[in-house]
Every structure is written in structure tokens, then in C-alpha cells.
Amino acid sequence: MSAQTGAVPALEMDGLTIRYGRTTVVEGLSLAVPRGSVYALLGRNGAGKSSLLRVLLGQRPAAIGRVLLLGEDPWKRRTRLMARVGVVPEEPDAPPEMTAAQLSAFCGRLHARWDGGAVAERLRRFEVPLDRPFGSLSKGQRGAVSLALSLGHAPELLLLDDPTLGLDVVARDAVFQEVIGDLADRGTTVFTTTHDLRAIEGIADHVAILHSGRLVLAGALEALKAERGLSLEQIFASVAGTRASDAGITEVRS
Amino acid sequence: MSRLLAVAARELRERWLLFPGALVAGFLPLVLPAFGVSRELTPTVGMTGAALLGAAAAVVVGSSMLARDAANGRLGFLFSRPLPWGTIWGGKWLAAIALAAASAFLYAIPCMAAYPLSSLGGHHGTSWLRTMLDGPGMVTGFVVIVLTVGLANFGATLFRSRSPWLALDLVLLLAATWATWRYIAPLWRYAAPLWRHVILGRGQWTLTLVLLPLALGLLVGSVVQVAVGRTDLHRAHRALSLGFWAVIGCTLAVAASYWQWVRSTGPDAVSVHVVTRDAAGRWIYVEGTGQHSGWYPHGFLIDTTTGRYLARPEPVEELQRIGFRMLFSADGRFGALPVAARGGAALHLFDLREARPRVTEVALESSPPPTWKTRFALSPKAASVFVVHESGASLFALPSGRRIATATIPPGWRPAVARFLAEGAARAWLVPSADGAAALRARAEMRVVDLAADGASSGTTFPIAAAIDPRLGWNAVLPDADGRRILTLDAGLHLRDGATGEPVASLVEGTGAIPALFLADGRIVVEGRADAQPPSAHPRLWVFDRDGTKLADFELPLLPPGSLGIGPEVAPGRVVVSCYRGWLLSEDALVVDMASGQVVDKLLPGLRPTFGFAGVSSAALGPGSSVHFFSVDEGRGVIHPERRPDRVVRIDFATGERKVVAGPGAVVGERLSAR
Amino acid sequence: MAPPARIRVNPALPTPIWSQIEESVRHLVASGALRPGGPLPSVRDLAREQQINPNTVAKAYQRLAEAGVLEARRGEGTFVAERPPAMPPAERARVLREGATRLATLAVNLGATQSEAVSALQSAWPDGESRAKGGRR
């Protein structure tokens, strides 16, 4: 499966500036996530990623700049878009008193199409018990449930916010394998924010690096590595380690 | 719809413990008798507890459903699903209301089962369920639940957002409180009864009506909170505030504009039910109610020659249900309106000499607040005012309000008429007070009290023929223009000396009200009655001279039955005689010449002379005034039971000019503002 | 050097991953670890196992299929081609030159002369033949 060229990008930002209180989360962010790609937004672990995610999901309007999710404004078209988008937030947000089975049933009532069997199968692969309350699961299991729930309606776009934060290697691998499997089966577009460079290096085909809220590097990962002859970690260190703010935007297309 | 129910079901599932908890707690009131609490109190305790538990549940859900869930990500979970914000809002509110109502109901079940409503004494009804499910109770309960949930949500959002927007909320709260005190409270006193009783039909909707804008504001605020604020607490707080205060602001604006509209009503838009006039017929004071302003007592001072008018100044304190009518000085230069102010009596003094009357408030020194039993009189040049209470009579100087003379009145008397005989001399006639035990010992006597500006006072009690019918209390005494002679209604109509009460002549025998009038030249006109008069006989007029000698006996060409009204004297020796026959039949107003007994003119049916009512004895009309005022029924149809006069017509009998000066159809001039 | 027994990639290397896969597959086929007609792991499985993007795997497989090393059968998966393709002369010359360059580098590092290297090659020829033929069988 190859990325569809010429189709509307799965996610598009144009001059997006987000402020939360006095902090500027992102400033003048412009990027485009091609359909079917795995796009990694890299940056130091800091405040504001959840603000960005809220804007992408249409829970907060973009005051300055534009966001297009699957070609539409998420603030205005949130209900329609959420049927085609899956979300795995950094902090699992499901109601703690519900079990995984109840959550799947609940989500099934909220979506028009829901594959409860696939969700159960994913949870089995993750070895998550279906009848224990969500709040009593470990962090890794909660993340697994969130991921399984986010894929139950076969979304076209999957948004992940630091999916491997706080997970051990085994759990991390399980998450990525699940994502890859879905990617392979359905050509889902994946957009993830992360700071775990080593893990994402094999999967991502596009990266964008944020430094102090500004985009300092963006492009096809393969081309970037070929051009510089460096690994992703090395590229990141060279770019994000720059203190001067005049590390301008470098866009390299494949 | 199923998505909405799914959201609601999840909310309920999270708090499911409230259901069994409420039911178990509901048994608590039943065990109270074991601790010595009276069994009769138990149902009350039970129902109160149910209400409190419902409120507590509403607070618990209201504070968590949006504010807490926004903070812990649960709201984000819902917003990440294809749920319209309306579904999220609706599901949460539905769960909140259901939870509050169900908790209260479950708590009440053991009590209801143990104490069936029919077994309790009193008129509560036959079944708990039926009582609870009646219309107003349910609506009020619903509004209270919405209010509690909404307030809990507002409070929790305020608390969790920690946004500086809170300062604005407090400022708006202060502003709204002030506006409510200024605009809603007066509406409540005057206009609200109209809404409560006429439009909504029941007094028990009052509470609901007051709470409704608040509940609606909180509801609308939460809608904006979910639609616009979504998962961001800062924005949610802002959205909630804006939505809430917009609704409250609109409500206050509507109330304020209604209040302004009420106050800006002119005399042509009121139904007049009180009219007093000055001696010359130029100024009148009317009071009435507007069609859409409830019971707000509009009061206007109208210059009937030009149509310009002045609205009565806003009363300082709560108006008595029976207001006071304006007094006019005999020289026509001043008008005085008694009011209750600052715990005492005061006068609004109107200087009528100028094109725009100047109003001064004059507090009467150490005078108790007036009641419907107080009588006022204004001296001919408005230099002093005579105030008679049950306990004493006083003269106050104007415009200072200083007390210049007092006379005490022994207990058991009530003033009927107060009058100035001359500039510095006032006289009051009192009848036995008809309250309580005194009525049982109804005394056949009256009292006269004289008070002079130099402080000299005297009081005389004199016997009368029979105890005065308490129902006629204020009509029992009719003085002439000088106050030197009076007519008393004591088992008939008797002419007496005004100062001593000595009988001069007995004019008519019989009981009940007997209409009578002193003419300008001293003659007396009364409705004639003979004991043997058959009921089908035409009404008769008897004319007497100053000493009580019968001069004439006329038969009026009016069909019986009817009750007569005699007066005013519209030209020397010519009197208007009105005949009221009750609400099914018409009324007549004739002008009769007292020398010949001939009917010289017939006025339009429905015209009634505007005599002074209780509370104020205006200066007697001097001779020579050809202007007289009549009130007119609107003629809503003969079926209407309350034929209250609502329009005032001014007729100049010298020129024949007629015009409507107050009430519907009046030609009003410029509205003046008081200086 | 012994060829890797399985397809392995190292994402941290500058070499594109698809190229690494391609290289790896070629070596496995050349070494006989992957027999002609034998199956290759599916795109999905390989991607999951190595935690790499399936598109990358698909790209590598596609290039190998175009080069004739692999053949894709609809509904069944990807397999090693029955007859490894004949390498075009230019390609053969290039690969030979690559191998020769390695030998030359090794010889220079060891301090041997060109004629020593040539004679080593000549003596090793029979061994290479037998190995290649044995692998093909």
C-alpha cells in the first residue's frame, strides 16, 4: 500500500499559533500530513501538547492560523470528523468505573460502525482483562485499552499523543505492533507526537521537529537521513540543541 | 436519541450507589419514634429529608458532570467521539435531573408506605403520588432541581477554572442585585399580582415564576459552556458566564422596561377609581390602575383646563392598600397628598400657582403613619393641616410640618369627618369605633372635637337617636359648608347643630342610608321616605329650609326600584339626581330644579358624580363653581359584575362644554415632571 | 562473512530501510537461506516484527519483484522467484567490481601485492563454484 498522492492531506496546519495562558505552545506551525503516512511530531517533553491536540480535535478553536482535519475544520465539523478519527490521548481518559468490555459496548452505542469483536481480539492480544474496571488497570493496560477503543470504528486517521510515555519496552513494542498492523491492514494515516526517537525511527516516514514552539525541521525521514547521513537521534540533537531561535524552517520533500 | 441515553446511562452508572443509599436512608425517619420523636412529625421529617436529599444529589451531580469531568479528561473522552455537543449536554442534564428526582423519591418511599396520606389528618389529599404529581408541584420541583444542578455546575466551574473572569461575575452579580431591588421588587409589589392571579391563575406559581429566569439562565449558560467552552475550563467558565448573564440581563431589561412603561402611563390609560377636585374645578387628582400594570396605583394631578398633568411622586414606603386622596386648599393654590413616610405621616405639598407645580415633602412632626381611619383636612389658605387619628387630633403648620396644636381623643372613637371652619379653626366629628367588643356595646352617641391654631381645644359628646350602623360609619355625618350644621344618619336623618350636636329637626324617619345634600343657599334636599310607601312608588325628593321646615315634596319621574344619589348642585338651585338600579338595569342622571321640582336636563346615562371618598373631606364646594366632574362606566356590557367607573368627564354647566379629562379617551396634555 | 539468516534492519543507519531490506533479501537468496519458490514473511508480519513502516516493506518487495528476485502471487503472498533472474551484464560487472574492490582493499590492508591477490582469487575459485552450486540445489 502506498500513500495516495494528490488526495487531501489527512491533517493540515497553516500558520497555527496556540497560546495557553501566557505560554506559546506552537507558533506559526505549518505542515501537511499526507494520507497513509506515519507522521511524527518530535519535540522535548513539555507543556502544551495537549493544547495542540485539543485544537486538532476541535475541542478548542484555532485563534490564529488554520487547521484542517481530513480537509475540514475540526471546530465546526467535530461530530462528523470524530467518526473517522481515532484518538489515544496521553492520559487515558475513559471513565474509571467501567470495565474494558463495558467501554467497548459504550463506544459501540456512540459510533455508527463498531467492530466489538476486533476490539476484544486486540485486548486479548494485549492480555488485558475485559472485566476489571479501567481505573484499576496498569498504565500500559490503560493505554492498550485506549488504543483498542480508538481503532474500533476503523478510523482513517489515528492521533496518538505520546503513546509510549511511561511504558516498558515490551508494552511499547506491543503498542507499535498494533499500530503497524492496523496501518498494514487499512492504510490508516498515523499522526503521533513523541519524544521516543529510537522507537519511531523505523515506523515514521515523515517527521517534524518543534523547538520552543517553532517548527525547525520537517520532511520525509528517509530523505532527511540520506541528505545528512545521520540517524534521527543525531538529526534531532543537531537541530533541537540549537539555542538560537533563528533555526529556520527547513522543508525537504521526498 | 440512543446516544443521548447512552451518555445519560453512563452518568447514572457512575453514581449508582445513590439509589440504594437513598432507599436505605429513607428508613431513617421511620426509626425516629424509637428515639422519642413524635410520630406525627415523621411524615414531615421524611418529606423534608427527601427534598434535602434530592437537592444534595443535584449538587453532587451538578458539580461533577461538567466541571470535574472537564478537569479529569472524561469530558474529553466524550468529545473525542462522534457525539454532537447537544447530545453530551442533554445526556448529562437528563441524568442529573433523573438522579435528583429519583433520590428524593426513593428516600420518600418508606415514609409514604408507612404513613399513607389518607391516614393523616387535614386536607392533604388521598394519595402521596397524586399530590406529588399535580401540575404546579411538579413544575416547581423541576425548576428547583434545574436551579440546584445549574448552581452547582456554575460554582464548580468557577472554582476549577481559577480564571480572572470571576471578578466580572462578582461585578455583574452586584449589578443584577441592585437592578432587581430597583426594578423587580416594585413590580412584585404592584404588577406581579396581575400576572400571578390573572394570567397564571394561581398564586402558587409565584415561586416558580421568580426562579424561572435563574434556572433558565443557568441552563442556557451550561448550553453555551458545552457548545463553545467544550473541554477547556477557562473558555467554559467564560461561556457559562456570558450565557447566564445574557439571560439574566435580558430578564432584567424586560422587567426594567416594563417598570418604566408602567410608570410612564398617562391618565388616559388608567381606569380611574378615585377622583378629588379643587374648589374651582380646575385641578383634579385621580387614582387608578392601568390595564397592564397590575395593581400599581397610578396617581395624577391634572390641570383640566389645559390637560397637562403631573404624576404623583414615587411613594417612599409601601403604599397602604387604601391610599389617600389629595386635599386642595379653598383658594386653589395648593394641593396636599397625605403619605406614609419614614414611619410617620407626611404630606406631598403641591404648589399649583406655577406652570410646573413644585412638590415638597413635608414630614408632620411626631405623627403616626396614617391608616384608613385617619382623617385629613387642609386649611383654606393651606397654612395648616388638620389630622385626626383615633387617639388624637393635631394641627400642623405648613410648609414646616411643625405641630402647633393637639387635642387628645378618649378611646372608643373614630373620626368620620374633619373640616376647617376658618383658617385657624378646625372641627372633627367622631363616631363610636366599631371594632370588636366595642361594637357589642354600640353607643348611640357622637363626639365633636374643635381645635384652634392657638391651641384651644374642646370636645363634646352628644347623644343621637340610635346607634349608628357601623357600615355607614363615614356617611353617618354630613356637615354643611360652614360646619355649623350637620346631618346625622341615626335611625333616620336629623339636622343638628354642628358645634353641640343639639337636634334642630328630624327630617326623615327610617333606617339605612338616606341621600341628602346642603344647597348653597342653606336649603336641604333629601330623598323622601314615608313608612307606608309602597315599593312601586316613584322616588321622592323633599326640600327643607335652614331650620328644618319642609318646603316641598317632589315626585321624580324615575322608575323604581333604585337608590338615589343627590348632588352636586350644578347651578343655583339645580341639582343632579342620579338613580342606580344595580348592574342589570341602567342608570339615570337628571338635573332637577329644587324650586319647581322639574327636570330641566338629563345627562348621559352612566354619569356619576365624583364625591369625595373615605379618608379625605375636601373643602366644601363654594358657590359659583359651574364645573363639575362625573365618572363614567366603560359600559363593558350589562353582564359585567364590576361596573367600576373608569373615566372622568368634566362638564361646565355654564357653557355646556364637556370633555373627558381622565381615563380612556381623555385628551391629555404635556406630562410635567415635578420640581 | 556469513549472510544473515533472517531479514534484519537497523533504522538508525543512514541507509534507507527499504534498501536494507532489499539488500538483506538478496543476500538471503544468494546464500540459499531463502530457497527458490520459498515464501517470504508477509509485509504485515515483517513490518510488525521489525517495527517498521509496512509501506517501506512493500516498497522493498516491489522493487525486488520488479528486479525478478521475488514474485508476488495474488492472495498467497510473496515468494522467491523460481529462477533467479539473469543479471544484466552491466549489473554483473558492477557487482563483480564491488566484490573485487573489497578484495583489493583487504589485500592492501594486509600489505599483499596485486599478484598475490590475483592468485588468491584463482585458488579460491573452485571453492566458490561448489558453494554457489550447492546453494542452488
**Of B117-121, B407-411, B446-450, C90-94, where does mean pLDDT reach its minimum?**
B117-121
Answer yes or no: do A79 and B231 touch at CB < 8 A.
no
Residue A226 to residue C16, Cβ atoms within 8 A: yes
Asked if C119 is an interface residue toward chain A (Cβ–Cβ < 8 A), one would say no
| Percent of chain A whose pLDDT exceeds 70 | 90
Q: Which residues of C are less than 8 Å from A184 in CB distance?
A: 43-44, 47-48, 54
**How confident is residue B128, by pLDDT bands cut at 50, 70 and 90?**
confident
Interface touch B82/A109, C-beta < 8 Å: no
**Is it the case that chain B and chain C have 3 or more CB pairs lying under 8 Å apart?**
no
B76 and chain A in contact, CB less than 8 A: yes
Q: Which chain C residue shows the shortest CA-CA distance from A206?
A: C53
Instruction: Provide the pLDDT confidence category of residue B673 given band limits of 50, 70 and 90.
Output: confident
Q: Which residue of A has its CA nearest to C18?
A: A222
- A112 reaches B (C-beta below 8 A): yes
Give the count of Cβ contacts less than 8 A between chain A and C.
67
pLDDT digits (tens, 9 = 90+) for C85-109: 666 667 778 878 888 898 999 999 9
Tell me the pLDDT of chain C averaged across its residues. Answer: 83
CB of C80 within 8 Å of any CB in chain A? no
Whether the link from the prior residue into A129 is cis, omega within 30° of 0, is no
Of B6, B82, B232, the CB nearest to A106: B6
Say which residue, B437 or B562, is predicted with more confidence. B562
CA of C105, closest CA in chain A: separation in Å? 23
Across chain B, mean pLDDT equals 82
**A78–B79 C-beta distance less than 8 A:** yes
- Which candidate from B6, B73, B235 shows the least CB-CB separation from A93? B73
Q: What is the mean pLDDT of residues B272-286?
A: 83
pLDDT of residue B274: 75
User: Of the ranges A6-10, B623-627, B670-674, which one carries the lowest mean pLDDT score?
Assistant: B623-627
Mean pLDDT within B655-667? 84
* Total residue length of chain C: 137
Q: What is the pLDDT of residues A87-125, one digit of tens each?
A: 999 888 899 999 999 999 999 999 999 999 999 999 999
Distance from B46 to chain A by nearest Cα, in Å? 32
What pLDDT is recorded for position C4? Answer: 44
Using the Cβ of B2 and the Cβ atoms of chain A, whether some distance falls under 8 Å is answered with yes
User: Of A61, A53, A6, A63, nearest to A32 (Cα)?
Assistant: A6
Better-scored residue on pLDDT, B417 or B201: B417
Searching chain A, which residue's CA lies closest to the CA of residue B163? A21
Whether chains A and C touch (3+ CB pairs under 8 A) is answered by yes
Using a CB–CB cutoff of 8 Å, tell me whether B80 touches chain A.
yes
pLDDT in tens, B291-310: 777 677 788 889 988 888 98
Calculate how close chain B gets to A221, using CA atoms only, in Å: 29
Of C17, C58, C59, the CB nearest to A202: C17
Q: Which residues contact B234 (CB under 8 A, 6 or more apart)?
A: B161, B163, B165
What pLDDT band is residue B118 in, cutting at 50, 70 and 90?
low
Q: How far is CA B620 from CA A92, B473, B479, in A?
A: 91, 20, 9
Which segment of B59-68, B308-317, B597-606, B627-636 scores lowest on mean pLDDT?
B627-636
Answer yes or no: is pLDDT of B536 > 80.
no
CB contact under 8 A, A93 and B231: no
Residues A48-85: pLDDT tens digits? 678 888 999 999 998 899 999 999 999 999 999 999 99
CB-based contact C52 A229, cutoff 8 Å: no
CA distance B23 to chain A (A): 22
Residue B477's CB: how many other CB atoms inside 10 A?
28
pLDDT surpasses 50 at B426: yes
Taking CA–CA distances from A234, the nearest residue in chain C reads C12
Give pLDDT, residue B643.
Answer: 46
pLDDT in tens, B455-468: 888 988 988 888 77
Q: Does residue A107 sit at the B interface (CB-CB below 8 Å)?
A: yes
Gap between the Cα atoms of B170 and B604, Å rounded: 62
Write out the three cell numbers for B280.
374651582
Q: How far C134 CA sits from the closest chain A CA (Å)? A: 36
What is the mean pLDDT of the segment spanning B505-529? 85
How far, in Å, CA of B37 to CA of B243, rounded? Answer: 47
Q: How far is A159 from chain B (nearest CA, A)?
A: 11
Q: Is C57 left (phi over 0), alpha (psi -120 to 50) or beta?
A: alpha
Contact C47 A180 (CB under 8 A): yes
**B582 contacts chain A (CB < 8 A):** no
**CA distance linking residue C18 with residue C24, whole number of Å:** 10
Which chains reach chain B with 3 or more Cβ–Cβ distances below 8 angstroms? A
Contact at CB, A180 and C48, closer than 8 angstroms: yes
Question: Measured between beta carbons, which residues in chain B are less than 8 angstroms from residue A58?
Answer: 79, 230
Residue from the list A54, A79, A94 with its beta carbon closest to the beta carbon of B231: A54
Model confidence pLDDT, tens digit, residues A154-184: 999 999 998 888 888 888 888 898 898 888 8
A113 touches chain B (CB under 8 A): no
Query: B216-243, pLDDT tens digit by residue?
Result: 999 999 999 999 999 999 999 999 999 9
3 state DSSP class of B95: helix
Span B603-627, pLDDT tens digits: 776 666 665 433 333 334 554 577 8
Contacts of B86 (CB under 8 A, 6+ apart): B227
Residue (of B421, B390, B383) closest to B404 by Cα position: B383
Question: What's chain A's average pLDDT?
Answer: 86
Q: ∠ CA B659-B663-B667 to the nearest 5 degrees?
A: 45
Out of A199, A205, A233, the one facing C55 most closely (by C-beta) is A205
Contact B3 A109 (CB under 8 A): yes
A136, A212, A218, A147: which is closest to A177 by C-alpha? A147
Distance, CA of B356 to CA of B373 (rounded, Å): 33
pLDDT for the residue numbered A1: 43
Instruction: Give the residue from chain C lying closest to A227, CA to CA.
Output: C14
Burial class, C8, CB count within 10 angstroms (exposed 0-12 / middle 13-18 / buried 19+): exposed
B108 exposure class (CB count in 10 Å sphere: 0-12, 13-18, 19+): buried
The interaxial angle of helices B85-114 and B135-161, nearest 10 deg, is 130
* Residue of B368, B498, B367, B324 whose CA lies nearest to B426: B498
Model confidence pLDDT, tens digit, residues B541-554: 899 998 889 998 88
pLDDT tens profile A183-242: 888 889 999 998 888 888 889 989 999 888 888 889 999 888 888 888 888 888 888 764
Average pLDDT over residues C61-73: 88
Q: Which grid coordinates belong to B341?
A: 413616610
Amino acid B183: pLDDT: 76
In the complex, which subunits touch C with 3 or more CB pairs below 8 angstroms? A
Is the Cβ pair A203, C58 closer than 8 Å? no
| pLDDT score of C1 | 41
Q: ipTM of this model?
A: 0.91
| A63 vs B: CB within 8 A | no
What pLDDT does B22 receive?
92
User: Mean pLDDT throughout B152-178?
Assistant: 93
Indicate yes or no: pTM above 0.80: no
User: What is the dihedral angle through the alpha carbons of C103, C105, C109, C111, rounded to the nearest 10 degrees?
Assistant: 70
The pLDDT of residue B97: 95
Q: Which three-class secondary structure state does DSSP give residue B404?
A: strand
B14·A97 Cβ contact <8 A: yes
Residue B411 confidence (pLDDT) above 90: no
| Whether B151 contacts B66, CB under 8 Å | no
